A and B are shown apart, each in its own frame.
Chain A
Amino acid sequence: MSRFPGSPSGNTTRRTLLATLAGAALAAPFVAGRRVSMAEPITLRYTAHIPGSHGLYTRAFLPFAEIVERETAGRLRLEAFTDRLLHGPIDGFKAAVTGITDYTHAYGTYQPGSFKLLHATQLPFLFPTPQVASLVFEELYPRFFKAEYEHMGVYLAHCDCTSPYNIISKTPVRRLEDLRGLKIRVTGGLTADIYRELGAVPVSIAAAEIYPAFQRGILDAVTLALTDMVAYRLQEIGRFYTVGDINVVLLHYCLNRRTFDALPADLRAQFYRLLRVRSQIAVQNYYTGPDYERAFATLVDSGVEVLELDEAELGRWRDRVTPLKERYIARHEAEGLPAGELVERMEALSAAYASLTNEQINTRIRETPVEGIIDL
């Protein structure tokens, strides 16, 4: 209770406050809210938690924004807000649903409880290359992932894929036994399960905190895509880089439903096709190719020793994580989800596409883009 109920100055303040509130309530219906404006040229807001210097922005978003503007003859433009300017990394879905953004990163790994089948793509030793992972995911999306993803109130824009996650560590990891008890930074969900299965101690730490944690000994090792390791300068701390190509992480992007649906029909169809092209831009420009090679050279030039696991050792790692796949399938089949069929289809398509070159994949996505990712 107020300590001075009914004091003259208290009543004056309260009256002033109530009068202002009453005025605001009366004025509220006449204050215009934000409406979706579709006067051409149309500008969609792209928001990102990554800095403007990150390869996903410079090597993927910027070229894509240019393609969109050129191919739509300037009718559609993308305006970028990077560096968490409008929202953080885990708020992508909410930002799209509330209209803060039109197009943003919305990763399933950041909200593991909202997805079940989507996590299957993190299973170990599933995809031969990130290009194939992205292609396979988009092809299977309408049948297996669409219901889960659209339940979040958004559309899937496209899906990037990181290069395989490998290990940078302070002590050499040459054998399975070297992983035992190692505190390793992982992303959540299945990746944590993989390393637990391999004997390590998974530690979950935000990407921006990896460097100091690695430096102070909170972490003994980090598993990440090579380009991201170098982006976070982990080669300054880690002395060994173990190549096992254990798993990849798919990076999903979402679209604000209202703004996408409000686009003119022809522009909607054109943007949809361009998004299929975008699904390979980050993979081919940043997570593989010259940028990947440059990151690898930086790692080696920094004195990091590269440790390649031989086939026999890799076989032991595979054997160790095999039960994980079986458990994943059994758990979700028990819930009535087609997890077994999904894993089978992913493995079959991965094998079928394994030999495709970038050019062949690009021809495929341009000439026969996957239908049904968004119902046009």
Chain B
Amino acid sequence: MILELLDRGSARASGALFAIGVRAALPALLIMVTLEVVLRYGFNSPLQWSRDVNGLLLLITLFSTLPQAWDRGYHIRMEIVHRRLRGRWRSVADALSALAGLVFFGLMSIQAASFARYMFVTGETGEDLNVALWPFMVYAAVCGLVLCARLVANPEAAHEADEADGESDQWI
């Protein structure tokens, strides 16, 4: 029951984050880079804060799409080994993958939340962009937590994605 709720809630959050990443952050990043290149080379008038903004947009894009990357099986795996595994061995391999992700992103989220507090207290801004950076750290922590929830609720995502895509052993 709890796992079902976690599954449903985190799947919805994952979809929302994915939408932010691909419909807002990524297009904004493309526009910013284009604008910067045009201003820099065409008008000799580069934006001093563009490096900071582009870095933040890249961060949002990457973190927003992490949970979906897991659900759709787009994360990096040892395909050569994973596709050969069957039954219990495959379950154990999937559980270990999920566990590794859980440990890494769980710790990362905890650290990001702790850094966000530190950045808020110390008033940290970008080097050239006079904007508080702590909300972006909170965002990274939230994305990490949603991914952790997906890892627990849907540890076999890679397997399922393979099956949905019609897995074949006819790889070269």
* Residue contact B45 to A201, C-beta cutoff 8 Å: yes
Do residues A1 and B164 form an inter-chain contact, with CB atoms below 8 A?
Answer: no
**Which among A1, A98, A152, A205 has the greatest number of chain B C-beta atoms within 10 A?**
A1
A 1-22 binary contact with B (CB < 8 Å = 1; else 0): 1111101011011101110110
Complex interface: chain B residues within 8 A of A206 (CB): 51
Contact pattern, A 330-362, Cβ under 8 Å of B = 1, otherwise 0 = 000000000000000000000000000000000
A20 to chain B, nearest CB (A): 6
Q: Nearest CB to that of A111 among chain B residues?
A: B124
A181 at the interface (CB under 8 A from B): yes
Q: Is the interface of B mostly helix, strand, loop or mixed?
A: helix
CA distance A9 to B155 in the complex (A): 10
The answer to whether B127 touches A14, judged by C-beta atoms less than 8 angstroms apart, is no
Find residues 83-114 in chain A having any chain B CB closer than 8 Å to their own CB.
90, 93-94, 97-98, 109-114
Contacting pair B157 A2 (CB below 8 A): yes
In this complex, the member of A2, A110, A151, A202 whose beta carbon has the largest number of chain B beta carbons within 10 angstroms is: A2
Set of chain A residues within 8 Å of B8, measured between Cβ atoms: 1
Minimum distance in angstroms from B49 CB to a CB of chain A: 8
- What 0/1 pattern do residues 207 to 247 of A give for CB contact below 8 A with B? 00000000000100000000000000000000000000000
Q: Which residues of chain A come closer than 8 Å to B164, judged between CB atoms? A: 3
Cβ–Cβ < 8 Å partners of A202 in chain B: 48
* A50 at interface by CB-CB < 8 Å: no
Q: Contacts of B59 on A, CB cut-off 8 Å? A: none
**Option from B90, B124, B153 in Cβ contact (under 8 Å) with A114:** B124
B: contact size bracket = 35 or more
User: Could you tell me how many residues of chain A have their Cβ less than 8 Å away from some Cβ of chain B?
Assistant: 41
B83 located at the interface, meaning its Cβ lies under 8 Å from any Cβ of chain A in the complex: no
Chain A residues, Cβ within 8 Å of B156? 2, 4, 7, 9-10, 13-14
Known contacts A9-B159, A13-B91, A2 near B40 by CB under 8 Å: no
In the bound complex, residues from chain B placing their C-beta under 8 Å from that of A20 are 95, 99
Closest Cβ of chain B: how far from A116's Cβ, in Å? 10
Q: Say whether B35 faces chain A, with CB atoms less than 8 Å apart.
A: no
* Cβ-based interface call for B145 (8 A): no
Q: Would you call B44 an interface residue if the criterion is a C-beta within 8 Å of the partner chain's C-beta atoms?
A: yes
Q: How far is the CB of B70 from chain A (nearest CB, A)?
A: 11
Q: Across the interface, do A204 and B3 meet the contact criterion of CB distance under 8 Å?
A: no
Asked if B79 is at the interface of the complex by the 8 Å CB criterion, the answer is no
Q: Please indicate the chain B residues that have their CB under 8 angstroms from the CB of A192 in the complex.
A: 48, 128
- Contact status B88-A205, CB under 8 Å: no
Residue from B49, B102, B122, B126 whose CB has the most chain A CB atoms within 10 Å: B122
A142 within 8 A of partner (CB): no
| Nearest A residue to B111, CB-CB | A98
* Whole-angstrom CA separation of A188 from B118 in the bound complex: 22
Proximity string of chain B (47-87) to chain A, C-beta cutoff 8 Å, 1 when within and 0 when not? 01101000000000000000000010000000000000001
Do B46 and A201 touch across chains, with their CB atoms under 8 A apart?
yes
Contacting pair A113 B155 (CB below 8 A) = no
The answer for the CA separation of A14 and B155 in the assembled complex, in Å, is: 6
Can you list, as one digit per residue, whether each of B150-172 has a CB less than 8 Å from chain A (1) or not (0)? Answer: 01111111011101100000000
Are B125 and A111 in contact (CB-based, < 8 A)? Answer: yes
A94: nearest residue on chain B (CB-CB)?
Answer: B115
Which residues of chain B are within 8 angstroms of A204 by Cβ–Cβ distance? Answer: 48-49, 51, 127-128
Q: Report the nearest A residue to B44, measured CB to CB.
A: A181
B7, B102, B126 pick with most chain A CB within 10 angstroms? B126
A151 to B118, CA, bound (A): 10
Shortest C-beta distance, B117 to chain A (Å), equals: 11
